[in-house]
Amino acid sequence: MKAIVISAHGGPEVLTVTELPDPVPAVGEILIRVKAFGLNHAEAYMRSGAWGQVAAVPGIECAGLVEADPSGELPVGTRVVAILGGMGRTRNGSYAELVTVPAANVAVVRSQLPWADLAAVPEVYATAFSALHGNLTVRPGETLLVRGATSSLGQAAVNLAVQHGASVIATTRSEAHVPLLQEIGATDVLIDGGHLAAEVERRGLAVDALLDVVGNSVLRDSLASVRPRGRVCQVGFLGGFAPVPDFDPITDLPSGVQLSFFGSAFVLGSPAFPLADIPLDAIYAQVEAGTLKARPTRVFGFDEIVEAHRVLEAGRALGKMVVALD
C-alpha cells in the first residue's frame, strides 16, 4: 500500500510517500480502506518531534470502507469513520491507503456525504462535543466563550454550542476573521491579544463557561475571564506546550471556578469515554442540512501532503482541511 511516513523529525518536507506492506488486523481490530483523512495540529506536533517518539505513519482519523473485520461484526464495504485509538502515536495512522484501528474507535456512518466531508468531522466534533457536554455541561441560554475559535476545533465548538442554544462569544487574533465567526453563529467576537479578562470586564460580559483551545500560555487569563463559579475547559495547545510557570492554585485559581482538561487523543474510545457517546449520525445529518457548517475548507490530494502541512502550520486553513485519496 501507499503510505505517508515521517522520514525524520522536522518540517513538512520530512513527510514522504512510500510503499509499505498491507497491515493485517488482529482480533479486536478493523482494517479500513481509507478514502479521506482529516488534517490536525496533533499530526504536525508528531511530525516535528514535539510529542517524542511516535509511529512512522501519522494520522489520527479517517473515513473509509471496512476491508476486513476478524470478528465478523462489520461486513466488508461498510462505511465507517475512525478516530484515535493510538493511530499516529503507538500504531501506524491514517495517512495511508489501509489502516488497522481498534474496533472501539470505529463508528459506522449512515450519511452519504462525500468522503472529504465525512473526514472533516470525527476528531474535532467528537472533541468539541465531549468538552462542551461532558466537561463544561453547557446549558441552553448560557454564555460560552470559545478561545481560539478560528481553529477547526474552535469552529466545531461554536457550531455545536449555537445549535444547543448557548450564546457564543468567539475569539480571534485577526479582525479579518470576525465575519467568519459571525457567520457560524457567534453573537460577539473579541480580538485576542492575550488579555481577554480585561476586555470581558470592560464590556460587562458574564461568561458562564470557557473552552480554551489556546492552552497554557493564556490559562491564567482564561480563568479570570469567567464569572464567579464559572467553568473552564482546556482542549488544545495552539499557544505552545510550555507549562504554566509557577502555577499556584491559591493565587491563580479563582475561588469557585472549575478547571478541567479534555485530551481526546488519550481517552476517546476507552470504556470511560466510548465513541458511542458521540452522536455522529445526528451531527452528519445537521451537516447535510446545512445547520452545521462543517464541510472542509480545502481538500488536498495524497501527493500534496507537504503543502497541506505547510498551510496547516501557517494558520491559513481557517477551518478543517482534509486529504482525499480518490
pLDDT (0 to 100) of residue 129: 98
Region 104-112: what's the mean pLDDT? 97
Q: Determine what percent of the chain is predicted with pLDDT higher than 90.
A: 96
Region 80-90: what's the mean pLDDT? 97
pTM for the predicted model, two decimal places: 0.96
pLDDT (0 to 100) of residue 315: 87
Q: Where in the chain is the domain with CATH 3.90.180.10?
A: 2-120+295-324
Residue 286 has pLDDT above 90, yes or no: yes
pLDDT (0 to 100) of residue 326: 77
Determine the Cα–Cα distance for residues 263 and 272; give it in Å rounded to an integer.
Answer: 13
Residue 23 has pLDDT above 80, yes or no: yes
Please tell me the CATH code under which domain 2-120+295-324 is placed. 3.90.180.10
Residue 301 has pLDDT above 90, yes or no: yes
pLDDT (0 to 100) of residue 51: 87
Q: Which helix (H) or strand (E) holds 233?
A: strand 231-234
- Which fold would CATH assign to domain 124-265? Rossmann fold (3.40.50)
pLDDT (0 to 100) of residue 128: 98
Residue 120 has pLDDT above 90, yes or no: yes
User: pLDDT band for position 203 (50/70/90)?
Assistant: very high
Determine the Cα–Cα distance for residues 167 and 88; give it in Å rounded to an integer.
Answer: 36
User: pLDDT band for position 251 (50/70/90)?
Assistant: very high
pLDDT (0 to 100) of residue 29: 98
Region 313-323: what's the mean pLDDT? 93
Neighbour count for residue 72 (Cβ, 10 Å): 7
Determine the Cα–Cα distance for residues 20 and 97; give it in Å rounded to an integer.
Answer: 10
pLDDT (0 to 100) of residue 271: 95
pLDDT (0 to 100) of residue 83: 98
- The pLDDT mean for the chain works out to 96
pLDDT (0 to 100) of residue 151: 95
**Residue 315 — φ and ψ, nearest 5°?**
75, 25
Say how many Å lie between the first and final Cα of the chain, rounded.
Answer: 14
Quote the cell numbers at residue 84.
484515535
**Residue 2 — φ and ψ, nearest 5°?**
-85, 140
pLDDT (0 to 100) of residue 45: 93
Q: How would you classify the pairing of strands 143-147 and 188-191?
A: unpaired
Q: Where in the chain is the domain with CATH 3.40.50.720?
A: 124-265
Region 152-170: what's the mean pLDDT? 98
CA angle 110, 323, 45 (to 5 degrees): 110
